[in-house]
Structure formats: structure tokens, C-alpha cells
């Protein structure tokens, strides 16, 4: 086993080095704009909205939400102001011609003013890669020392163990298992497959896999596992690959009342990268609320006094004292937290080095790099992986397929597990049955059932929404083959767009809004960021706020849903080049975000040479209502 682990680590190191290079090369673009508005939030965060110049707005799609940026003041000629220092911030949201960024500190500390011109530049978070490489170093050290039972090698004992005698249970065989009896009534109503998953996860000695196709209640299942584990005195590390996924899971746990009284929660990580609703559970806020923080404030007053009197030796001693007291309070808060939630990479933060947990739950595990998963797994006695290998893999820039193989995909595909290690969730609660049908048949052997309570619900069934041709249809399809809508490459040569599809999407949304569909319940999904930017601008030109109708790429919608989804596929060419459309898992995500209404816009002719896409066309032609372009 040592040789296989060593080879795996060497391969991962090469792949990560190439990924880091690819990421660095992608960060050469910058954006110009001006400060539009500023506001202070709690937890010492200032939120600033910048209006972007016309040229920068056209490439705004290259800015990623919750990604780090540097902002520096510039003069009217675009030159950096004298003595101006870059401000480190995090992208919170984007509009058609604006971007909102959060900064640590107050107005005076960040030194920006309304109407001030700035340059915004994406930056690489070098710490991310340092932690990944450090994890590989730790694994290689354990291998060199021959300690195969070391906790960092637990993941590899799962990956490389010899196959057993039983096959991985298939979807059809799981229906024969009787639902378990849980120790108490669930906080959230669960179906039979969810109850099996909870019981199996609680009974597992070291690990369990929960396979959750779209809309099957993965997060509800996690909530019940967390509730039962906390009730039995277990300490839990809840992780996911992204801040957004961590926040979604933790908010569901809190809102579902799955945390017993007296249990302390900690949302670990940078405050400006977490949901505002969770700032009260950040380490920063918990430290401020702790007994003993008043002594730190007293030390701060002494520091100010010493500085005024120029007693620099005394000031240095006081700063050391403040640092020591803060460190002690942070350790106390960490040690007292029964449920710690953070990204997989943040689990490698030095402040968590000595923390151990009874259980580690990894949500969206199929989107996590295998090395990232190893960081969190090494901190717990048992691990539960929750995800779906049929949805998006880890997001990479270097297009290296080996790096996109998650730990969950490896364990599901390679191992001969029996039923006690693997549970499949089989009832979906998100979509109209017609919307769910294609995904169930194409990816899940037709075994996903739709709960009767939502299987036939339409937009027109909702209060305040008129019955129109559009609102009475669960699926609509617009074939652009005969209309000459050609795809184009954006100015930077990085992405694709199709202006004909932009017009169709905007017109359809306009009709839905007129029928009473709330803008915030409409989402537009496209595989290409340039197309997303043009649709946002098209909506803005009609006075429809882009921030209300969400327009984004497939990747940004993973794990989320909307009442209405408009899917713009973009590709239209004579060479039958379908690009991203050939990625089955990406299209599975795109087709399963809508709850009651889905419009698919695409060119049948371009994609007809793909057997996969032809099956999709056959489905929509049989099940969808058609959009007539006149």
C-alpha cells in the first residue's frame, strides 16, 4: 500500500502544480470602476458597491463570487494614486454593471470615498495551495515512517483496500430494505431512504456514503444525522468544498431546530466570506461575546495611551499581552464548540491543528478535490460523505481529468461495499415530475420517484400568478435551428455568446414577470459566462434588475434551485462543436434546478451528432411545449 500511496501523492502534486499555474494565468485581467455606495455591517466588515466602467462591465463574468480581490484607488488617467495601498476584499455579488465587495475594517480603515475611481484585480489565494501541498507532505511523511494506521492515511485505507466479496449495492436492490427505527422522532419529516441513510450513518464504525441525486433531500438527511449525533454527545466537523455550500448546510441545520439547547456552534473562516446570517457564529463574534474580552478592550486602551506618550517599549509589551489573551480566547471558543462548520481547505488552518472530532460530515463531497477531503478526514474518527458523482465534479482550470476525480467518486466506483456503507436517496421533492423524468432516466436508471405533493404543481397553481400559455407548462423548448442565431466568441476569446438566445431568454422572462412570477424566483443558467453577462445586460436595459433575476453559469447553481429556470445552451455552428454541452454531469445540474417551469433554448442541428444530446432532444420534443418565434 505504501507504494500506491506514494505514487498517488506524486501524481497529485504534479496536477496541483499545473492547476496553480493555470489559476495564476487566469488572473491577469483587471477591472475599473468607481465607489457607488458604502455601508458598515457588524463584525467589523465594510461592504462597498462599485459601478463598473463599460469596458469592465462587459467582462464582469470573470469575477467570481466569494473570491479574493485587491482594490486600489486610481486617478482619472488610470494611474495608481501616490502612497495608495491595495485593499484586500472578497466579492459578495455582481450586477450587470456593478460589483459588491466586502472588506475587513471600518470606513476610515479602508480609506475609500464615494465616487472615487478604483482598479479591481482578482488575486490568487496562495494559502489554498499551501494547505493542499502541506497535506501531501503529511501523508508522505506518515508513509515514510511506515505508520499505516496514522489518521492522515485513513482516506487511503479506504481507497486502496483490497476488494471484498460483495458488489456495491445498486439502486434497485435498496428498495427491499426495511426502514430503520430511529432513536427519536426526526426534527424534519424523512422518507424511507432518508431514514435508512441516517441510521446507517449513525451505525457506521468508520465511514458511510450517501448518494443524493437532485432534489432528494441530502441536506435534510444531514440535519438529522447532526441532530442525533449532537444529542448523543458527539463533536462534529461539518465541511464542504465552498463557503456557499457550508453556509447552506449550516443555515438549514439552524432553521430546522436540529441543534439541542446548550450546544455551541462555530462557523469557522473569514467573516466576509460567510453568509451575513451566520456572522453571529463566527470566531470573531464569539470571542467578542466571551467573558474576558473586556480585559482585552482595557489592554487596547492602555496601548493607545502608551502610543500617545511614545512609550514604545510599554506598547510592545501590551501588544504581546493582547495577542496572548486573544489567542487564549480563540482556543477557548474552539474547544467549546460542539459543531464546527468550515470549508475543507479551512479545516487545515493552524488554529484547528489540535482539534479532533468524533464525526466529520462532508457535503457536496463529489465536488471536492481528493486532497481537500483528506484535510478534514484526518481530524475525525468517522466520516460521512454526502454527494452525487452524477453532478458537477471538482472545478479546475487546468482541465486535468485526473484532478477532477473526487474521493466520493473513487469510493463509489472502485469499492465492493455492501449496503451498510452506501445509501441511495430515491425520492425527489424539488421538481414537477416532467422536469425530473429526463434526469432520472438518463443518470439514475429511472429509479428516482417524485413525491406526490409536488409532482404536478405548475406556476399557474400559485396565488398571484395568472394562467398563461407559459405558466401552464412545466417544460418548454425553443429550437433555434432555423433562425440563424450564431454563436460568437467574446472579445477576450475566453467564452461563447449567442445574441439570438439572449433575446429569447429576455422576452420569455418579460412574459413571466407580466404574469406575476416574482423576479427573485427566476434563474437563468448558461454554460458560458459571456452569455450570462449579455443576458444580465439585456434584462437591465428593460429595467429588470439583474440582482433579482439571477443569471449565472451552471457551476454557480450547483446545490440550488429556482421556481423558474431558463436554460440557454448557446452553441450554434456548422461543425457540430458542442463544447460544454458534451459534459453530461454539467447538463444534469442545469436541467434539475427548476421547480415548476423550465425553458430550454438551443439548436438541435448543432448537437444532433451527440448521442447524449440527441436523447435530450428526443425527450423535450416528446414532453415539452414549443416556443413559437413567429
- Residue 65 or residue 194, greater confidence: 194
| CB of 39 closer than 8 Å to CB of 148 | no
Nearest to 515 by CA among 460, 452, 580: 460
pLDDT in tens, 140-184: 988 888 877 777 787 787 777 654 434 333 333 333 334 444 656
Q: Angle 53-57-59 (CA atoms, 0-180°, nearest 5)?
A: 130
| CB of 91 closer than 8 Å to CB of 52 | no
pLDDT of residue 254: 96
Nearest to 565 by CA among 528, 533, 585, 590: 590
- Residue 238 or residue 153, greater confidence: 238
Residue 512 pLDDT > 90, yes or no? yes
Residue 248 pLDDT > 80, yes or no? yes
pLDDT of residue 495: 86
Residue 543 pLDDT > 60, yes or no? yes
Of 96-100, 269-273, 492-496, the poorest mean pLDDT is in: 492-496
Bridge partners of 209, per DSSP, are 385, 422
Residue 493 pLDDT > 80, yes or no? no
Across residues 495-513, what is the average pLDDT? 95
What's CA 332's distance to the chain center, in Å? 30
- Residue 454 or residue 558, greater confidence: 454
- Residue 425 or residue 543, greater confidence: 425
Residue 413 pLDDT > 50, yes or no? yes
Residue 451 pLDDT > 90, yes or no? yes
Q: How many helices and strands in the chain, by DSSP H and E?
A: 20, 23
What would the grid cell of residue 306 be? 502608551
Look up the CATH superfamily of 433-626: P-loop containing nucleotide triphosphate hydrolases (3.40.50.300)
- Give the CATH number of domain 154-163+188-263+342-425; options: 3.40.50.300, 3.10.20.30, 3.40.50.10490, 3.30.70.260: 3.40.50.300
Residue 565 pLDDT > 70, yes or no? yes
The top-level CATH class assigned to 30-123 is mainly beta
pLDDT of residue 607: 85
Residue with cell 439583474: 546
Residue with cell 435508512: 196
The DSSP letter of residue 444 is: S
pLDDT of residue 558: 82
At 81, which helix (H) or strand (E)?
A: none
pLDDT of residue 416: 41
Most confident of 159-168, 387-396, 506-515, 530-539: 506-515
Q: Report CA-CA distances (Å) from 234 to 230, 247, 262, 338.
A: 5, 21, 13, 7
Most confident of 53-67, 239-253, 408-422: 239-253
Residue with cell 496536477: 15
- Residue 336 or residue 183, greater confidence: 336
pLDDT in tens, 265-303: 999 998 888 988 999 999 999 999 888 888 988 888 888
Residue 40 pLDDT > 90, yes or no? no
Nearest to 586 by CA among 571, 604, 605: 571
Q: What is the 3-state secondary structure of 542-594?
A: CCCCCCCCEEEEHHHHCCCCEEEEEEECCCCCCCCCCHHHHCHHHHHHHHCCE
Q: Check if 154-163+188-263+342-425 and 433-626 are the same fold.
A: yes
d(CA 582, CA 404): 16
Of 270-274, 466-470, 471-475, the poorest mean pLDDT is in: 270-274
The count of other CB atoms within 10 Å of the CB of residue 205 is 9
Q: Report CA-CA distances (Å) from 361 to 263, 377, 530.
A: 17, 9, 36
pLDDT of residue 161: 64
Residue 11 pLDDT > 70, yes or no? yes
Residue 106 pLDDT > 50, yes or no? yes
Of 34-43, 117-126, 232-241, 302-311, the poorest mean pLDDT is in: 34-43
Average pLDDT, the chain: 88
Across residues 446-466, what is the average pLDDT? 96
pLDDT of residue 42: 60
**Percent of all residues in the chain with a pLDDT value above 70, rounded to a whole number:** 93
Q: Is 291 helix (H, G, I), strand (E, B) or coil?
A: coil
pLDDT of residue 192: 95
Question: Model confidence at 124, in pLDDT bands (50, 70, 90)?
Answer: confident
The count of other CB atoms within 10 Å of the CB of residue 542 is 11
Residue ranges per domain, the chain? 30-123, 154-163+188-263+342-425, 271-337, 433-626
pLDDT of residue 415: 54
d(CA 614, CA 27): 37
Amino acid at each position: 500500500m505504501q507504494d500506491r500511496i506514494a505514487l498517488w501523492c506524486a501524481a497529485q502534486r504534479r496536477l496541483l502544480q499545473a492547476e496553480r499555474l493555470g489559476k495564476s494565468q487566469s488572473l491577469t485581467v483587471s477591472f475599473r470602476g468607481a465607489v457607488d455606495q458604502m455601508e458598515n455591517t457588524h463584525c467589523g466588515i465594510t461592504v462597498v458597491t462599485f459601478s463598473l466602467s463599460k469596458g469592465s462591465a462587459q467582462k464582469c463574468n470573470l469575477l467570481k463570487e466569494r473570491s479574493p480581490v485587491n482594490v486600489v484607488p486610481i486617478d482619472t488617467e488610470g494611474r495608481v494614486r501616490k502612497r495608495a495601498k491595495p485593499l484586500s476584499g472578497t466579492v459578495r455579488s455582481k450586477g450587470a454593471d456593478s460589483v459588491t465587495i466586502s472588506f475587513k475594517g471600518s470606513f476610515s480603515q479602508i480609506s475609500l470615498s464615494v465616487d472615487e475611481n478604483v482598479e479591481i484585480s482578482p488575486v490568487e489565494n496562495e494559502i489554498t495551495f499551501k494547505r493542499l501541498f502541506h497535506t501531501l507532505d503529511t501523508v508522505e511523511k506518515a508513509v515514510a515512517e511506515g505508520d499505516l494506521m496514522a489518521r492522515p492515511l485513513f482516506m487511503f485505507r479506504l481507497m486502496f483496500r483490497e476488494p471484498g466479496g460483495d458488489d456495491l449495492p445498486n439502486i434497485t436492490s435498496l428498495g427491499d430494505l426495511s426502514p430503520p427505527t430511529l432513536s427519536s422522532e426526526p426534527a424534519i419529516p424523512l422518507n424511507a431512504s432518508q431514514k435508512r441513510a441516517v441510521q446507517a450513518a449513525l451505525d457506521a464504525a468508520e465511514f458511510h456514503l450517501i448518494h443524493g441525486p437532485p432534489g432528494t433531500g441530502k441536506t435534510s438527511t444531514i440535519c438529522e444525522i447532526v441532530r442525533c449525533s449532537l444529542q448523543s454527545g458527539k463533536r462534529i466537523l461539518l465541511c464542504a468544498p465552498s463557503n456557499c455550500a457550508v453556509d447552506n448546510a449550516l443555515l438549514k441545520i439552524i432553521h430546522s431546530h436540529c441543534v439541542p439547547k446548550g450546544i455551541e456552534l462555530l462557523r469557522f473562516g473569514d467573516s466576509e466570506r460567510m453568509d451575513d446570517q451566520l456572522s453571529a457564529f463566527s470566531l470573531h463574534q464569539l470571542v467578542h461575546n466571551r467573558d474576558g474580552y473586556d480585559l482585552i478592550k482595557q489592554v487596547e486602551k492602555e496601548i493607545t495611551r502608551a502610543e500617545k506618550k511614545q512609550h514604545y517599549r510599554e506598547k510592545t509589551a501590551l501588544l504581546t499581552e493582547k495577542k496572548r489573551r486573544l489567542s487564549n480566547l480563540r482556543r477557548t471558543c474552539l474547544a467549546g464548540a460542539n459543531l464546527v462548520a468550515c470549508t475543507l481547505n479551512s479545516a487545515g488552518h493552524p488554529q484547528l491543528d489540535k482539534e479532533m472530532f468524533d464525526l466529520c460530515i462532508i457535503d457536496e463531497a463529489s465536488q471536492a478535490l481528493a486532497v481537500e477531503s483528506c484535510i478534514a478526514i484526518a481530524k475525525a474518527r468517522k466520516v460521512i460523505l454526502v454527494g452525487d458523482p452524477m453532478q458537477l465534479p471538482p472545478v479546475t482550470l487546468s482541465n486535468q481529468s485526473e484532478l477532477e476525480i473526487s474521493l466520493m467518486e473513487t469510493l463509489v466506483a472502485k469499492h465492493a461495499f455492501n449496503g451498510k456503507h452506501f445509501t441511495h436517496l430515491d425520492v425527489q421533492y424539488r421538481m414537477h415530475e416532467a422536469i425530473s423524468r429526463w434526469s432520472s432516466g438518463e443518470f439514475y436508471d429511472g429509479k428516482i420517484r417524485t413525491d406526490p405533493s409536488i409532482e404536478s404543481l405548475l406556476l399557474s397553481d400559485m396565488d398571484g400568478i395568472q394562467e398563461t400559455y407559459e405558466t401552464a407548462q412545466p417544460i418548454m423548448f425553443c429550437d433555434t435551428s432555423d433562425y440563424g442565431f450564431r454563436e460568437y466568441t467574446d472579445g477576450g476569446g475566453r467564452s461563447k455568446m449567442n445574441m439570438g438566445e439572449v433575446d429569447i431568454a429576455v422576452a420569455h422572462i418579460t412574459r413571466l414577470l407580466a404574469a406575476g412570477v416574482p423576479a427573485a424566483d427566476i434563474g437563468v443558467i448558461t454554460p458560458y459566462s459571456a452569455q450570462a453577462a449579455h443576458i444580465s445586460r439585456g434584462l437591465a436595459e428593460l429595467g429588470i434588475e439583474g440582482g433579482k433575476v439571477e443569471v449565472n453559469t451552471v457551476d454557480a447553481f450547483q446545490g440550488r434551485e429556482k421556481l423558474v429556470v431558463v436554460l440557454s445552451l448557446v452553441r450554434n455552428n456548422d461543425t457540430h462543436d458542442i463544447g460544454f454541452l458534451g459534459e453530461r454531469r454539467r447538463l444534469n445540474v442545469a436541467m434539475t434546478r427548476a421547480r415548476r417551469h423550465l425553458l430550454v433554448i438551443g439548436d438541435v442541428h448543432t448537437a444532433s451528432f451527440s448521442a447524449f444530446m440527441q436523447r435530450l432532444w428526443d425527450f423535450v420534443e416528446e414532453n415539452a411545449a414549443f416556443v413559437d418565434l413567429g
